[in-house]
């Protein structure tokens, strides 16, 4: 701050001879030195002084000189009016939206990524998560940088209005704009300045170490040898529950026209693959068997897919279920990799992944569907649940299309939510809650009687083609965006 102050003063004193100019600069340099000895910060010292322009104007007046005009000089009244009409409002809106969006989204994403650390079990996964932390920290820093530019523009604009209309801006107002800039907050105390430098440094370090380390681990330690798996079980007499646990790999469940349960796919040669069909009481047709599948990797093997660097082959396990198998619960836990359930019918579905998309297609569930991911897109397409559907992701989109259920809850910390064709007008659902901390909410043909919509930074759109369906209650709240709810209400 001192350096900027003295440079601006030197620039404003250019009409003076060099000797006089250097003498005045030395005087103010001494003021900073004396103030520092008294325990004052640079910001506090500057607050006690006039602006460099005001100091230079007084000095030049004593010498009978005038300041040289620069690009920072006052505008004409017409120019100021035209700028206000065609530029100012747009720039203020854009910079305000950008700065607060980046700060808000970066903070939410930082918290989500930080929480996901507990679910990471590999070296490359840890490095990748560090890279994500670095990106979110950098986004927050850039958000504050955009806010700094916004406040400096506001200060300049206010000063132009005072100058054009022949008034002097009060020093208290100048100090107000000065004190509202983030750089002033950080420079006021040495501790905050060091913390800001540390945060930026850690962010960049995490990006470099995390991304670079993940690439090194992937290229040096990822086994290139894959082995095929092909296992089968006879169809049990009673219903079957499916439980799967994978730390790295795709997991797919499909129906097929066959007479045995098939488990096929490919895994790395250093992964441990276990499976069993557990039937505690095989003679009791009412006893539920359990098909249990697990895939484990050594601790320091990468969990990251790097398609842009040629690492495109992933472990994959596919479970093929005959049409005659009665499927009860489906429970899947995956550390890293997509989960796809297609063409199945079950009593309950519960899927959770730390870093991988979840997709359900042509699926019918008697009771509930629970889907959760820390960092991925969740998708439902042609899905029916007898009771409720809950979908939650910390950082990703939610896509819901052609769905039937009584209760709906869709939530993402950072992403867009699209919900289309939910229930029929003659068989409306009871409740729906849709939330996003940073993203648009778009609903079309959603026939649910009670709807709650909330986003912190994004627009809300809700429209139904069938105008004969009336909602009992709808709530649409956004802190930064437009709201357009075009549905009939009672």
Instruction: Calculate mean pLDDT across residues 359-378.
Output: 93
Least confident of 189-203, 349-363, 369-383, 446-460: 189-203
pLDDT at 310: 41
More confident residue, 1 or 365: 365
Residue 216 confidence (pLDDT) above 80: no
Least confident of 43-47, 434-438, 483-487: 43-47
Mean pLDDT estimate for the chain:
81
Residue 68 confidence (pLDDT) above 60: no
Instruction: Calculate mean pLDDT across residues 50-79.
Output: 67
Residue 311 confidence (pLDDT) above 50: no
Instruction: Calculate mean pLDDT across residues 383-405.
Output: 94
The size of the chain, in residues, is 490
pLDDT at 309: 40
Give percent of the chain with pLDDT exceeding 90.
Answer: 34
Is the Cα dihedral 377, 479, 108, 99 positive or negative? Answer: positive
Instruction: Calculate mean pLDDT across residues 46-52.
Output: 84
Least confident of 69-83, 332-346, 460-474: 69-83
155-209 tens-digit pLDDT: 777 777 776 665 666 666 666 766 667 766 666 666 766 666 676 677 677 667 6
Residue 470 confidence (pLDDT) above 80: yes
Query: Which tokens sit at 3?
Result: 């350096």
pLDDT at 308: 38
pLDDT at 332: 95
Tell me if residue 282 falls in helix, strand or coil: coil
Here the contacts of 326-330 (C-beta below 8 Å, separation 24 or greater) are 326/238, 326/239, 326/240, 327/239, 327/240, 327/241, 327/242, 328/239, 328/240, 328/241, 328/288, 329/241, 329/242, 329/243, 330/241, 330/242, 330/253
- Residue from 402, 411, 404, 372 nearest 388 by CA: 404
Residue 247: band (very low, low, confident or very high) from pLDDT cuts 50, 70, 90:
confident
Cα distance between residue 252 and residue 342, in whole Å? 8
- pTM (two decimals): 0.60
Report which DSSP code applies to 51.
P
More confident residue, 400 or 91: 400
270-301 tens-digit pLDDT: 888 999 987 654 444 444 578 898 888 765 44
pLDDT at 316: 92
C-alpha distances (whole Å) from 82 to each of 85, 86, 89, 121, 205 are: 5, 6, 11, 59, 45
pLDDT at 40: 84
End-to-end CA distance of the chain: 61
Which residues, 6+ apart, have CB-to-CB distance to 316 below 8 Å?
249, 250, 251, 252, 265, 266, 267
Residue 443: band (very low, low, confident or very high) from pLDDT cuts 50, 70, 90:
very high
Contact 432, 448 (CB under 8 A): yes
Which residues, 6+ apart, have CB-to-CB distance to 408 below 8 Å?
388, 389, 400, 419, 422, 429, 431, 432, 433, 434, 448
Instruction: Calculate mean pLDDT across residues 86-102.
Output: 83
């Amino acid at each position: 701050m001192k350096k900027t102050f003295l440079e601006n003063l030197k620039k404003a004193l250019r009409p003076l001879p060099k000797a006089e100019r250097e003498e005045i600069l030395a005087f103010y340099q001494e003021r900073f030195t004396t103030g520092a000895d008294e325990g004052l910060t640079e910001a506090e010292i500057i607050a006690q002084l006039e602006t460099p322009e005001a100091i230079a104007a007084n000095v030049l007046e004593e010498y009978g000189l005038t300041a040289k005009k620069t690009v920072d000089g006052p505008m004409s009244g017409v120019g100021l009016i035209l700028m206000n009409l065609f530029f100012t409002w747009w720039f203020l809106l854009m910079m305000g939206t950008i700065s607060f969006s980046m700060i808000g989204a970066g903070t939410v994403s930082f918290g989500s990524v930080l929480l996901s650390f507990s679910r990471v079990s590999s070296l490359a996964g840890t490095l990748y998560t560090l890279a994500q932390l670095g990106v979110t920290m950098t986004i927050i820093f850039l958000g504050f940088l955009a806010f700094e530019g916004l406040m400096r523009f506001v200060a300049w604009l206010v000063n132009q209005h005072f100058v054009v209309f022949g008034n002097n801006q009060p020093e208290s107002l100048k100090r107000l704009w000065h004190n509202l800039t983030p750089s002033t907050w950080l420079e006021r105390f040495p501790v905050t300045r060091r913390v800001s430098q540390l945060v930026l440094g850690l962010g960049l370090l995490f990006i470099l170490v995390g991304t670079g380390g993940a690439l090194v681990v992937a290229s040096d330690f990822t086994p290139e040898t894959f082995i095929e798996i092909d296992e089968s079980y006879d169809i049990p007499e009673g219903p079957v529950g499916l439980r799967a646990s994978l730390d790295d790999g795709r997991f797919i469940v499909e129906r097929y026209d066959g007479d045995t349960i098939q488990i096929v796919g490919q895994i790395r040669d250093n992964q441990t693959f276990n499976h069993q069909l557990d039937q505690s009481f095989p003679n009791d047709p009412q006893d539920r068997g359990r098909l249990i599948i697990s895939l484990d990797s050594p601790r320091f093997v990468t969990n990251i897919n790097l398609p842009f660097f040629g690492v495109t082959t992933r472990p994959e396990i596919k479970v093929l279920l005959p049409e005659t198998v009665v499927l009860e619960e489906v429970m899947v836990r995956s550390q890293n990799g997509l989960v796809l359930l297609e063409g199945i019918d079950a009593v309950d579905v519960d899927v959770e992944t730390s870093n991988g998309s979840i997709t359900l297609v042509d699926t019918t569930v008697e009771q509930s569907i629970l889907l959760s991911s820390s960092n991925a897109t969740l998708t439902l397409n042609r899905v029916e649940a007898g009771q409720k559907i809950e979908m939650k992701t910390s950082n990703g989109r939610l896509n819901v299309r052609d769905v039937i259920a009584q209760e709906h809850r869709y939530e993402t910390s950072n992403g867009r939510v699209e919900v289309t064709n939910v229930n029929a007008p003659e068989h409306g659902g009871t409740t729906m809650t849709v939330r996003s901390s940073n993203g648009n909410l778009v609903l079309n043909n959603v026939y649910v009687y009670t709807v709650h919509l909330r986003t912190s930074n994004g627009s809300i759109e809700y429209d139904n083609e069938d105008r004969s369906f009336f909602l009992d209650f709808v709530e649409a709240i956004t802190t930064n965006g437009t709201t357009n709810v075009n549905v009939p209400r009672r």
